[in-house]
Each structure stands twice: as C-alpha cells, then as structure tokens.
Structure 1
Amino acid sequence: MKAALYEGNQTFRIQSVDPVTPGPDEIRLNVAYVGICGTDTHIYHGAMDARVKPPQVIGHEMSGTVAELGSNVEGFAIGDPVVVRPLDNRAETAADRGHSHICRDLKFIGIDSPGAFQNSWTVPAFAVHKAPQGVDLQLAALTEPLAVACHDVRLGEVQSGELAVVIGGGPIGMLVAMVARAAGARVILSEVNQNRLSFARELGFEAVSPIETDLAELCRERSDGAGADIVFEVSGAKAAAASMTDVLAIRGRIVVVAIYPQPVELNLFQFFWKELKLCGARVYEPEDYEQALQLIAEKALPLDKMITRVEPLDQIQAAFENLDSSPNAMKILIDCQS
C-alpha cells in the first residue's frame, strides 16, 4: 500500500509500506478521505518536529471503512463506514478526574503515533465510531472538526433565541457558527478576511469585519441594547481577546476555542461588572462525535460547501503547498484510495 510520510522541512514522500496487522484490540481501516487541518499545517512548517519525530505519517480528520478486526473487537463488521476519534487516553489517572479527553498524558493519534495519510490505518478499537450506513464519506471526513464545534456549543450551553458571536471565520469558526445556528441561536460572525466574510454570507450568516463595523454596537442593536449572550473566540487574535467582553450582555458567556500560546490581556473589570463567565473548550468527547455524525446523516448543515477541493494521496505535497499559499481555502481533503 502507499503512505505519505512527513519528512520534515515541509516535505512529504510517498512510500510503499505493508499494512499493519491489527492487534487483539485494534481495527485496520481502509482510509477513504482525510482533511488537512491547522495542526497538520503546523507540523508541515516544522513547529512540532520534536513531538512528531519525522519521518512519520500524520493526519487525523478521516473517514473510511473497516478492513480487518482484531480478535477481541466486537460491534463492527468488515465494510462498516467509520471515523476515528484520535485521542489515546490510556495513560489517564485518577488525577484527571474522569475527563479522559483532556487527561494530562493524552496522546493524539496522528501526531504522537502514525496517522491517516495512507491507504490503510490500524488504530485502537476504542477510537473508532461507526458512521451511518450510506453516509457520504467525503462529508464524514469532516466529523472531527465538526465534533470540535459540537463540543464548543455544548459547553457554551447555547439556547434557542440567544445572540451568539463567533470571532474568527476559519474552518472551525464556520463550523461553530453552523452548529450554534442549528441549536437555534442568532449568529453574528466576525472576521477580517474579505473572502471568508463573503463565504459566511453565502451560508446565510450575518458576517462583519471588526475593522469596519463596531461589533459591540451591532450586538446591542440586535438585542434591544443588551449585547450578545455568548462569544466564541476562535481567532486567536490578541485584539479579539482584549475586546470580546465589550460585546457581551450582563451574565454573558465566553468560550475560548482558539489556542493562545502566550498570555493575553483581558478586561477583568467587565467580568466583575457584568458577572461574565469564561470557559475553555478543548477537542471533544464521545457524545460530540455522535452528535456530529447525526448532523452529517441528517444533512442538517451545508457541510458540502466546506470542502474546497479533493486531491489524490500522491499529490499531498502540492496540496499542502497550495493551502499554504491560499489561506482562503476552507477544507482540502486527501483521497487515500484514488
């Protein structure tokens, strides 16, 4: 079979390898499609070489079918459509308080161990979720990022009729906006990139640039002077973190989705004055995967519009180069069986 090995220095090499026979508690999958995500591009730029240890196959936003079952695996059949929730929590301890998805020694499959950019992928059975029969495997490849959005909206306790602001219109921000709208929220998306603004408007969102529009004033206009009920900070921009409290109503809520590697300034007076709440949201739990798969099966969201294009596995180098030079793309999928 073929596998795409990340070798460091922004380079992938296609290599013939043998499929890995599954152990007793593992499943071997025929990989259909794999999405390129922000973490993959960080790896491509060499930012995670110490963790990835090239040469290694990476990738984790996948869909596929069951090819071979380990001797202890039950509940799956050959040919079942599946996706992988790429979290390995086997080092979890009592100190993690049962929150296995963010346990201290969590390993990420596709980063800390081989990933999905290959024809066949062997993974622990506990990481595999059945997808609905007949599901479009291209859409199913969006399950992982969609589960992120489901987790964010669930932790944000979004209620029907609330005014939600999503700051950042990249792939995750766009999915958060979709899931929040599906939960009944009225959504305003804030983004500085004009192409992403246009894309959001095509999806029916009220989308504005904070450079051109006073976001706090707009939220008050849309809420009889109160402000937004909830803000999802997905941009990772210091300016967004500094100003996100301004748009909120009394007892408003903030969900921090973006990764901030360095401390940033927050208006703590606003937290005191309005009794605001701040919540972090990291990856997902099994129930978020199940909700994402249900949304895909119901065709409840315009997910097909998120797929910018599909490239064959042997063109993965060009796909990463094109994504690097074209930040307007939403989601590029790699076809691992073409």
Structure 2
Amino acid sequence: MKAAYYEGNKTFSVREGDIISPGPGEVRLDVAFCGICGTDTHIYHGAMDQRVSMPQTIGHEASATVAEVGEGVEGFAPGDPVVVRPLDNRLETPADRGHSHICEKLKFIGIDSPGAFQNSWTVPAFTLHKAPPGTDLKLAALCEPLAVACHDVNRGDLKPDELAVVLGGGPIGILVALVAQEAGARVILSEVNPFRIEFARKLGLEAVNPTEVDLEAFCREKSGGSGADIVFEVSGSKAASSTMTNLLAIRGRIVVVAIYPQPIEINLFHFFWKELNMIGARVYEPKDYEKALRLVAEKKLPLEALITDVKPLDDLPQAFQQLDENPNAMKVLIDCRATS
C-alpha cells in the first residue's frame, strides 16, 4: 500500500507502507477519496505539531469500500461502500453524560491516530456508515463536512420559513447555508470575499457583502421588521461575532460553529434585552452522518460544484501547496486509488 506521511515543516512524504490487518471489531478499508479540510491545513502549517505524532498519515473526510472485516464485526462485508465518522470515544466516562461526540477524552481519527490519506486504512467498525448502493464515492467524501452542517442546523432547531443568516462563506458556511435552505429556511449568506459571494449566488443562495450592505437593515427588511430568527457564526471573525446579536429578532438563536481559540467581545446586553440563546455546535452525531448520506444519495444539493479539484495521492504535497496559494478553493479531494 501507499500512504502520505506528514513530517512537519509543511512537508509530506508519499511512500510505501504496511497493510494493517483488522483486529477484533475493526475493518480494513480501500480508501477511495479523502478531502483536505481546514484542520488538515492547520496541521500542514505546524499549528498542531504538539498533537500529531510525526511521521503520521492524516486526513479524515473519507469515502471507501470495505476490503476486510475483523472478528466480531457484523453488518459489513467486502465491497460495501462506506464513509467514516472519525471519532473514537472509547475512553468516554459516565461524567461525559452520554454525549460521545464531545466526550472529554475524545480522540479524532486522522489527528490523534492515523488517517485516510492512504490506500488501505484500518478503523474501528463503529465509525462506519454504509452508503446507499450506487452512491458516488467522490461525492460521499463530502459527507464529513456535510455532517458538520447537518449537526449545526439540527442544533439550531431550524424550522421551515425561518430567516437564517450564515456568517462566513467558506466550505462549511456554504454547506450550512445549503442544508438550511434544503430544510425550508430563507437563507442569507454574509461573506466579504467577492469570489465566494459569486460562487454562493451560482448555487442559488442569497449572498451579500456586509461591508457594502447594512446587514442588520437587510435582515429587518427580509423579516418584516423583526430581524433574523437564527444566526450561524461560521467565519471565526471578531467583526462578525461583535455584530451578530444585532441581526437577531426577539428570542433569536446563535449557533457558534467557528472555533475561537481566544476570548472575544459579544454584546451581552442584547442577550438580556431580546432573550437570545447561544448554542455551541461541535463535530457531529451518527444521525447527522445518516442525514448527510441521504442528501448525497438523493442528489438534493449541488455538491459537485464544491469540488475544486481532484488530485492523485502522489500529488498530495502539491495539493496542500496549491491550497495555500488559492484562497478561493472550496474542496480539494485526494484520489487515494490513483497515482501520478
């Protein structure tokens, strides 16, 4: 088999590796496609060197087919198309209250343990979701970020015809907007990058630039004067977080999707005055993966348009470099079956 190994200092080596036979409760996969996500680029830039054991194969947005099944595994057979929910909660304790996707000692596969940028990948069987027959494995590789979006929308308890504002038009922001729109919401996407604004509009989303449009006034106009029902903060921008409470109607909700490593200023007066709610949203639960798989299989969303490029595994180092040089890229997939 062949795998890409992160060596530190923006360096990957693609070389031969050992096939790991599945143990009890494990499944070996033939990886089809794996997407490069923001976390992977953080690793590439060295921001997670204290967490990643080098040299290590990373990557977690994977689609695959089952190659080999370990002892005691039921429900999967060689040839089955699958996606991987890369969360290892085997260290969960009663103190975690049964929320396995955010348990205190959660391990993220592809960061804390070897990931999917390889031909052959052995994972715990409980991480697998079987894709419907005939599912396009290239699109199925988008299930991980799509499941994030499904989880965000579910956490916000979004209802049909509500006015939803998505702050940030990167890959996750676009997916949140598409999932919210598919759920029946009226969606406004707020983004400052002109390319992303135009891209979102081509997908059928209403996108505006908050430096050119008074977003608060625009929300009131679209809501008959009350304001937005829900805001999804996906940008990680201090400017967005400082103004998001202004956009909301009485008893509106904020879903915090972006990761803020440092404390920021938020207008708490609006929380008191309008009785607002703020909701955290981290990764996903099994039901979010099942929803994402249904959306992929039913082809309800324009997911193909999000794939900027597909590169063979041998070209993974160049793919990371190109992403650094192209801020307009949405999703680059690595074809782990192909070599250059």
Identity of aligned residues (%): 72
CA shift at 1:71, angstroms? Answer: 1.2
1:268 — aligned with what? 268
Deviations 1:101-142 (A, max 9, x none): 000000000000000000000000000110111100000000
CA shift at 1:327, angstroms? Answer: 1.0
Structure 2: how far apart are the matches of 1:152 and 1:254? 10
The AA in structure 1 aligned to 2:180 is A
The AA in structure 1 aligned to 2:63 is S
CA shift at 1:54, angstroms? Answer: 1.1
Counterparts of 1:77-116 in structure 2, within 5 Å, are: 77-116=77-116
Structure 2: how far apart are the matches of 1:329 and 1:173? 14
1:165 — aligned with what? 165
Counterparts of 1:291-302 in structure 2, within 5 Å, are: 291-302=291-302
1:50 — aligned with what? 50
CA shift at 1:145, angstroms? Answer: 0.3
Structure 2: how far apart are the matches of 1:53 and 1:19? 19
The alignment partner of 2:149 has SS state of helix
CA shift at 1:44, angstroms? Answer: 0.2
Structure 1: how far apart are the matches of 2:204 and 2:134? 28
The AA in structure 2 aligned to 1:262 is Q
Counterparts of 1:48-197 in structure 2, within 5 Å, are: 48-197=48-197
CA shift at 1:53, angstroms? Answer: 1.6
Deviations 1:270-329 (A, max 9, x none): 000001000000000000000000011111111010101100000000000000110100
2:284 — aligned with what? 284
Gap runs ≥5 in structure 1? none
CA shift at 1:15, angstroms? Answer: 1.1
Residue 307 of structure 2 is aligned to residue 336 of structure 1: no
The alignment partner of 1:294 has SS state of helix
Structure 1: how far apart are the matches of 2:329 and 2:32? 21
Task: Give the TM-score of the pair, scaled to structure 1.
Answer: 1.00
Structure 1: how far apart are the matches of 2:212 and 2:206? 14
2:252 — aligned with what? 252
Count of residue pairs brought into register by the alignment: 338
Deviations 1:8-58 (A, max 9, x none): 000110110121010011000000000000000000000101101210000
1:23 — aligned with what? 23
Structure 2: how far apart are the matches of 1:67 and 1:324? 34
CA shift at 1:204, angstroms? Answer: 1.1
CA shift at 1:74, angstroms? Answer: 0.6
Structure 1: how far apart are the matches of 2:20 and 2:146? 28
The AA in structure 1 aligned to 2:336 is C
Task: Give the TM-score of the pair, scaled to structure 2.
Answer: 0.99
1:240 — aligned with what? 240
Runs of 4+ displaced beyond 2 Å? none
The alignment partner of 1:52 has SS state of coil
Structure 2: how far apart are the matches of 1:92 and 1:119? 30
Structure 1: how far apart are the matches of 2:226 and 2:200? 25
Counterparts of 1:283-322 in structure 2, within 5 Å, are: 283-322=283-322
Deviations 1:225-254 (A, max 9, x none): 010000000000011110000010111000
The AA in structure 2 aligned to 1:272 is F
CA shift at 1:85, angstroms? Answer: 0.2
The AA in structure 2 aligned to 1:19 is I
The alignment yields a C-alpha RMSD, in angstroms, of: 0.5
CA shift at 1:167, angstroms? Answer: 0.1
CA shift at 1:169, angstroms? Answer: 0.2
Structure 1: how far apart are the matches of 2:94 and 2:74? 28
The alignment partner of 1:51 has SS state of coil
The AA in structure 2 aligned to 1:133 is P
Structure 2: how far apart are the matches of 1:127 and 1:183? 26
Deviations 1:82-102 (A, max 9, x none): 000000000100110000100
1:205 — aligned with what? 205
The alignment partner of 2:42 has SS state of helix
